[in-house]
A and B are shown apart, each in its own frame.
Chain A
Amino acid sequence: MPITMTLPINNIRQRTGRRTREYNHQFDGNDGWKLTNVRSARFGLLIYWDNALKIGTTAAGRDEKIELDFLEVRAWHGPNRQKEFGLGSQQQLQKIYGEIGGDPLSPETFNNQRVLSAALNRDDEVFLEFEVNTDHPTYCKAAERTIAQGKTALKIELTTYAFDADIDDDGKITLTIGPGSRVGAYEGYVAIDFGNTTSTLAALPVGSRRVSAIRILAPHATDQAKLPELKPQAPAVESVLRIDYVAKQPESQPRVAPHPDLVGWVTGEWARIGRSSNGVIYGSKRMMTGPGWEDTVDVMVAEAREPGEGANLRRQPYPIPGRIPAELFLCRTFQQFRQAQQEYPSRLAVTYPTTYSAREMRQLREVVSRAWLRTMVQKQDGDKIGEAEKHIELELDEASAAAFFFLYRRIFEKPGGLPRFRYLYPDGMNLLLYDGGGGTTDVVLVRGRLDPANPNVLKVVVLARSGVRDFGGDNITIEVFRLLKAKIAAALAKSRGESKALDALPQDPTKWAAYLDANADKFDKWVPTRFDADNWVGGADQQRNRDHTWTLWMCAEDLKKVLGTPAAPGKPPPSEAALPSSIAGKLGEFLTKSAGKDGLKFEQIKVSRAEIDALIRPRVLHSIELCNRLIQQRLWLAKGDPQEVHWVVAAGNATRYPLFEELFAKHLYVPFFADRFLHDTENCKHAVAKGAVLALGWDKEARSVGIDFDSNLADQLPFTIGVFNQQHDAVRVLYPEGSRYSKMTSPLYIEVVTGKGEKPAEYLILERRWPDEEKFNKFLTFRFKDGIASPVKVSYDPDTAQFVAQDHNDADGELVEGDREKAYRPPPQRGDL
Chain B
Amino acid sequence: MPEPVETAPRIGPKFPLLGDAPHIVERFERIAAVFAKLGEDPLLLERPEVQKAHGDFLRLDERLRRPRYQVGFLGTTQAAKSTTILNLLDRKKGEGPVDSGDGAPKTSSITRIVPQSEGEHTLRIRYLTPAQYAEKRARLCEKTGLDPDSSDATVLEQLDKQLAGPAAGARPAAAEVPPLIRDLETLGKLVRSYGQYRAMVVDRARVEPHPYAKRESFVNHPPEVAGQRFAPSPNHLIREVEIGLTSERLPQRLEMIDLPGLGSDGSSDDILTKGFLHELDGALVFLRADQYGDSDVEYIMSKLIQEFEGGRSRIWIVVTKMDVIERDSLYGKAADELLGFLRKHGLKTDQLALTTKRLHDRRGPDGKVPLSQAAAIVQINLDDADPVPPGYRADPGLKASFAELLGDGGTARLRKMVTEELEGRVAADTQRQAGEQLGRIAERLVGVVEFLRQVTGGNLELLVLAEQCRTAVTREVAALDQQMAWFADSSQQVRNELDAMLDKCFPGDEDNLQQKSADLARRFPAHAKILTDTLAATFQSNVVLPAYEKVAAQLANEAFAAVPVGDKLGPGKYWEAAMAADAALKADWRRTGFPTFQADLAALFAPPGEGEEEDRELNGGHYREMLQEKIRAVVGEGVHRLRAQLRVRLSELRDQLNQLADFDPQALGPTTVDFDALLAELRTLCPSR
Count how many chain A residues have C-beta atoms less than 8 Å from C-beta atoms of the other chain: 50
What distance in Å separates the Cβ of A707 from its nearest Cβ neighbour in chain B?
13
Closest A residue, CB atoms, query B616 = A417
The residues of B that contact A732 with a CB separation of less than 8 Å are 147
The residues of B that contact A416 with a CB separation of less than 8 Å are 604, 616-618, 622, 626
Select one of B144, B481, B640 contacting A746, CB under 8 A: B144
The residues of A that contact B162 with a CB separation of less than 8 Å are 746-747
Decide yes or no whether A574 CB sits under 8 A from chain B. no
Query: How far apart sit A412 and B612, CA to CA, in the bound complex (Å)?
Result: 9
Interface string of A631-662 (1 = CB under 8 A from B): 01000100111111010000000000000000
Contact A419 B604 (CB under 8 A): yes
The residues of B that contact A670 with a CB separation of less than 8 Å are 484
The residues of A that contact B145 with a CB separation of less than 8 Å are 734, 746-749
The residues of A that contact B291 with a CB separation of less than 8 Å are 453
Select one of A415, A702, A727 contacting B611, CB under 8 A: A702
Contact A422 B611 (CB under 8 A): no
The residues of B that contact A419 with a CB separation of less than 8 Å are 603-606
Contact A671 B608 (CB under 8 A): no
Contact B158 A422 (CB under 8 A): no
Count how many chain B residues have C-beta atoms less than 8 Å from C-beta atoms of the other chain: 58
Query: How far apart sit A528 and B481, CA to CA, in the bound complex (Å)?
Result: 49
What distance in Å separates the Cβ of B526 from its nearest Cβ neighbour in chain A?
16
The residues of A that contact B441 with a CB separation of less than 8 Å are none
Closest B residue, CB atoms, query A422 = B603
Once A419-B603, A642-B644, A671-B636 are accepted as A-B contacts, the answer to whether A453 and B484 lie under 8 Å apart by CB is no
- Greatest chain B CB density within 10 A among A415, A669, A734, A793 is at A415
Query: How far apart sit A412 and B616, CA to CA, in the bound complex (Å)?
Result: 8
The residues of B that contact A67 with a CB separation of less than 8 Å are none
Closest B residue, CB atoms, query A210 = B613
Contact A641 B593 (CB under 8 A): yes
The residues of A that contact B622 with a CB separation of less than 8 Å are 414-416
What distance in Å separates the Cβ of B263 from its nearest Cβ neighbour in chain A?
15
Contact A746 B618 (CB under 8 A): no
Once A455-B603, A669-B484 are accepted as A-B contacts, the answer to whether A704 and B609 lie under 8 Å apart by CB is yes
Query: How far apart sit A673 and B639, CA to CA, in the bound complex (Å)?
Result: 13
Contact A423 B604 (CB under 8 A): yes
Select one of B147, B337, B481, B599 contacting A749, CB under 8 A: B147
Question: For window 402-427 of chain A, which residues contact chain B by CB distance below 8 Å?
Answer: 412, 414-417, 419-420, 422-425
Query: How far apart sit A589 and B604, CA to CA, in the bound complex (Å)?
Result: 72
The residues of A that contact B340 with a CB separation of less than 8 Å are 452
Question: For window 724-764 of chain A, which residues contact chain B by CB distance below 8 Å?
Answer: 727, 732, 734, 746-751
Contact B481 A675 (CB under 8 A): no
Contact B149 A751 (CB under 8 A): yes
Decide yes or no whether A668 CB sits under 8 A from chain B. yes
The residues of A that contact B180 with a CB separation of less than 8 Å are 746
Decide yes or no whether A672 CB sits under 8 A from chain B. yes
Contact A672 B632 (CB under 8 A): yes
Decide yes or no whether A500 CB sits under 8 A from chain B. no
Question: For window 666-715 of chain A, which residues contact chain B by CB distance below 8 Å?
Answer: 668-673, 675-676, 702-705
The residues of A that contact B302 with a CB separation of less than 8 Å are 639-640
Decide yes or no whether B331 CB sits under 8 A from chain A. no
Query: How far apart sit A675 and B609, CA to CA, in the bound complex (Å)?
Result: 31
Contact A672 B636 (CB under 8 A): yes
Decide yes or no whether B275 CB sits under 8 A from chain A. no
The residues of A that contact B341 with a CB separation of less than 8 Å are 452
Decide yes or no whether A298 CB sits under 8 A from chain B. no
What distance in Å separates the Cβ of A797 from its nearest Cβ neighbour in chain B?
15
Closest B residue, CB atoms, query A702 = B611
Query: How far apart sit A336 and B632, CA to CA, in the bound complex (Å)?
Result: 45
The residues of A that contact B643 with a CB separation of less than 8 Å are 671
Query: How far apart sit A424 and B632, CA to CA, in the bound complex (Å)?
Result: 9
Contact A673 B484 (CB under 8 A): yes
Query: How far apart sit A518 and B180, CA to CA, in the bound complex (Å)?
Result: 56
Interface string of B455-493 (1 = CB under 8 A from A): 000000000000000000000000001101111100100
Decide yes or no whether B619 CB sits under 8 A from chain A. yes
Contact B481 A791 (CB under 8 A): no
Query: How far apart sit A456 and B608, CA to CA, in the bound complex (Å)?
Result: 12
The residues of A that contact B626 with a CB separation of less than 8 Å are 416, 420, 423-424
Contact A675 B333 (CB under 8 A): no
Decide yes or no whether B176 CB sits under 8 A from chain A. no
What distance in Å separates the Cβ of B277 from its nearest Cβ neighbour in chain A?
14
Decide yes or no whether A209 CB sits under 8 A from chain B. yes
Decide yes or no whether A451 CB sits under 8 A from chain B. yes
Question: For window 274-294 of chain B, which residues contact chain A by CB distance below 8 Å?
Answer: 290-294
Select one of B144, B632, B640 contacting A675, CB under 8 A: B632
Contact A415 B615 (CB under 8 A): yes
What distance in Å separates the Cβ of B640 from its nearest Cβ neighbour in chain A?
5
Decide yes or no whether B652 CB sits under 8 A from chain A. no
Question: For window 176-201 of chain A, which residues contact chain B by CB distance below 8 Å?
Answer: none
The residues of A that contact B150 with a CB separation of less than 8 Å are 749, 751, 791
Closest B residue, CB atoms, query A748 = B145
Contact B293 A704 (CB under 8 A): no
The residues of B that contact A751 with a CB separation of less than 8 Å are 147, 149-150, 154
The residues of B that contact A640 with a CB separation of less than 8 Å are 302
The residues of A that contact B203 with a CB separation of less than 8 Å are none
The residues of A that contact B629 with a CB separation of less than 8 Å are 424
Query: How far apart sit A675 and B337, CA to CA, in the bound complex (Å)?
Result: 32
Contact B604 A420 (CB under 8 A): yes
What distance in Å separates the Cβ of A811 from its nearest Cβ neighbour in chain B?
14
What distance in Å separates the Cβ of B153 from its nearest Cβ neighbour in chain A?
12
Question: For window 662-682 of chain B, which residues contact chain A by CB distance below 8 Å?
Answer: none
Closest A residue, CB atoms, query B593 = A641
The residues of A that contact B630 with a CB separation of less than 8 Å are 423-424
Once A415-B622, A641-B593 are accepted as A-B contacts, the answer to whether A703 and B147 lie under 8 Å apart by CB is no
Decide yes or no whether B518 CB sits under 8 A from chain A. no
Contact A671 B484 (CB under 8 A): yes
Decide yes or no whether B342 CB sits under 8 A from chain A. no
The residues of B that contact A456 with a CB separation of less than 8 Å are 609
The residues of A that contact B324 with a CB separation of less than 8 Å are none
What distance in Å separates the Cβ of B514 from its nearest Cβ neighbour in chain A?
13
Decide yes or no whether B225 CB sits under 8 A from chain A. no
Contact B606 A415 (CB under 8 A): no
Contact A453 B482 (CB under 8 A): no
Question: For window 536-575 of chain A, which residues contact chain B by CB distance below 8 Å?
Answer: none
Query: How far apart sit A505 and B285, CA to CA, in the bound complex (Å)?
Result: 71
Query: How far apart sit A473 and B216, CA to CA, in the bound complex (Å)?
Result: 68
Decide yes or no whether B146 CB sits under 8 A from chain A. yes
What distance in Å separates the Cβ of A643 from its nearest Cβ neighbour in chain B?
8
Query: How far apart sit A671 and B149, CA to CA, in the bound complex (Å)?
Result: 46
Interface string of B144-169 (1 = CB under 8 A from A): 11110110001000100110000000
What distance in Å separates the Cβ of A671 from its nearest Cβ neighbour in chain B?
5
The residues of B that contact A636 with a CB separation of less than 8 Å are 481, 644
Contact A209 B613 (CB under 8 A): yes
Decide yes or no whether B383 CB sits under 8 A from chain A. no
Contact A420 B593 (CB under 8 A): no
Once A423-B626, A424-B626, A672-B632 are accepted as A-B contacts, the answer to whether A791 and B147 lie under 8 Å apart by CB is yes
Decide yes or no whether B511 CB sits under 8 A from chain A. no
Query: How far apart sit A636 and B302, CA to CA, in the bound complex (Å)?
Result: 16
What distance in Å separates the Cβ of B139 from its nearest Cβ neighbour in chain A?
16
Q: Nearest 6 A-B pairs (CB), nearest first?
A: A704-B609, A453-B293, A452-B293, A748-B145, A415-B622, A417-B616
A-B contact pairs, 19 of them (CB 8 A): A416-B604, A416-B618, A419-B604, A425-B633, A451-B293, A455-B337, A632-B481, A636-B644, A641-B593, A669-B481, A671-B486, A671-B488, A702-B611, A732-B147, A746-B145, A749-B145, A749-B146, A751-B147, A793-B161
Chain B residues in the interface with A (C-beta under 8 A): 144-147, 149-150, 154, 158, 161-162, 180, 290-294, 302, 333, 337, 340-341, 344, 481-482, 484-488, 491, 593, 599, 603-606, 608-613, 615-619, 622, 626, 629-630, 632-633, 636, 639-640, 643-644
Given contacts A671-B640, A675-B632, A791-B154, 8 further A-B contacts (CB under 8 A): A414-B622, A455-B603, A642-B640, A669-B484, A670-B484, A671-B487, A727-B149, A791-B158
